Amino acid sequence: MPSFVPEIVMKKYLHIFFDLDRTLWDFRKNSAEALLAIIDKFKLHEIVQDKDAFIEKYNYYNDRLWDYFQQGRIKKYQLRHERFRMLLRDYGVKDRELTGEISRYYLNTSPAKTSLVPHTIELLEYLTPHYSLYIISNGFYDVQLTKMKNSGISRYFKRLFTSDRIGYSKPNSRIFDYAVKSVNAKKAESLMVGDDVVNDIKGARNARIDQVYFNPEGKVLAVAPTYEIKELLELKSVL
């Protein structure tokens, strides 16, 4: 009597939602280049003797203030100004006008940078003929759109969803609900890809959407995502 072999049915995704910063657009590299340009343009060499420390301090203040912004504790303009006020304060600079100039320069310079996470273009070329692609980001719409256009990836995406336009930030499930509904997708046919275990993975899971955790550093997680990859091209094995 022949043995019964159950049929394996692969889940079919049709709509792929990506995070942008650190998942596709190389935030750390692009931001570091903009910060180094600030040191040169504003002649900060005498006070900034350790450029790596300058960048690390900025990242610390930026990450902390982004948390405050997402919690509703500060406004957009405060985030943009305060991260440089706090950074420059550590170097003894208290000139408000100079701080404002540096903040504006960074806002104009950083989004114009074009470095992408390795294999981004190759992956998007592979996905575009078969899937509808979108971005869900906690970044500001105008800034994220500039990043996408300058780095050459805007053509791959049908929609850009940002927290400032929608009114909810990841990991709030309502931003995922809004995005899925806006493109007439079904959650069972949708997939979220991102590098942030809270915003992208837990947020999508709470919205009942499968997730891919992009984990190039091999971080150990307390809760397993639907899928986990260390390189972007590994997404092919999921899809």
Say yes or no to pLDDT of 113 above 60. Answer: yes
Torsion of CA 60, 169, 25, 89, to 10 degrees: -20
Say yes or no to pLDDT of 1 above 60. Answer: no
Question: In terms of residues, how long is the chain?
Answer: 239
How, if at all, do strands 190-194 and 15-18 pair? Answer: parallel
C-alpha angle 136-164-140 in degrees, rounded to nearest 5: 70
Task: Say which residue the tokens 């990841």 belong to.
Answer: 170
The angle, 0 to 180 degrees and rounded to 10, between the axes of the packed helices 27-41 and 51-70 is 120
pTM: 0.89
Q: Which residue has the higher pLDDT, 74 or 70?
A: 74
Q: Which amino acid is at 176?
A: F
What digits encode the pLDDT tens for the residues 164-192? 999 999 999 999 999 999 999 999 999 99
For residue 196, the model assigns a pLDDT of: 94
| CA dist., res. 164 & res. 7, Å (int) | 45
Give the right CATH number for 28-112 from 3.40.190.10, 1.25.40.10, 3.40.50.2300, 1.10.150.240.
Answer: 1.10.150.240
Cα separations in angstroms, 121 against 16, 40, 125, 211:
15, 31, 6, 21
What digits encode the pLDDT tens for the residues 207-233? 999 999 999 999 988 888 999 999 999
| CA dist., res. 232 & res. 145, Å (int) | 21
**55 phi, psi to nearest 5 deg:** -65, -40
**DSSP character string of 145-204:** HHHHHHTT-GGG-SEEEEHHHHS--TTSHHHHHHHHHHTT--GGGEEEEES-IIIIIIHH
* In the chain, where the domains are located: 15-26+116-238, 28-112
Q: Which residues contact 142 (CB under 8 A, 6 or more apart)?
A: none
For residue 223, the model assigns a pLDDT of: 80
Q: What is the CATH number of domain 15-26+116-238?
A: 3.40.50.1000
Residues 160, 152, 213, 79, CA torsion sign: negative
Q: Around Cβ 219, how many Cβ atoms within 10 Å?
A: 10
Say yes or no to pLDDT of 2 above 80. Answer: no
For residue 11, the model assigns a pLDDT of: 65
Mean pLDDT of 15-33: 97
| CA dist., res. 46 & res. 43, Å (int) | 8
